[in-house]
Amino acid sequence: MEEGNSSKGKSVNRWITTGVIGIISSSLCCISPLAVILLGVAGLGAWTGFIDYVVLPCEA
């Protein structure tokens, strides 16, 4: 096995990790409003006040 190939593999893994982190952080922005609507429809709208305590630290 060549040494050049192993460094290329690490670079690919770094890009994949960065992409997954980006996907998760951007999906929080889309899931939050959907969660508020679904909780309101289900009669659990009182729980929506606590979503800020979870979402805002994750986005920072």
Flag whether 39 is in a domain: yes
- The SS3 assignment for 43 reads coil
Flag whether 14 is in a domain: no
Contact between 36 and 51 under an 8 Å Cβ cutoff? The reply is yes
- Provide the 8-state DSSP code for 1: -
Start-end of H helices in the chain: 3-41, 51-59
Q: What is the pLDDT of residue 51?
A: 73
User: Considering its fold, how many domains does the chain have in total?
Assistant: 1
Tens digits of residue pLDDT in 11-49: 788 899 999 988 887 877 777 778 788 888 888 878 777
Flag whether 7 is in a domain: no
pLDDT band at 58 (very low <50, low <70, confident <90, very high): low
Flag whether 30 is in a domain: yes
Token couple for 27: 């999906």
Q: What is the pLDDT of residue 1?
A: 46
Least confident of 8-12, 21-25, 50-54, 55-59: 55-59
Flag whether 5 is in a domain: no
**For residue 22, what are the CA distances in angstroms to 25, 30, 47, 56?**
5, 13, 27, 16
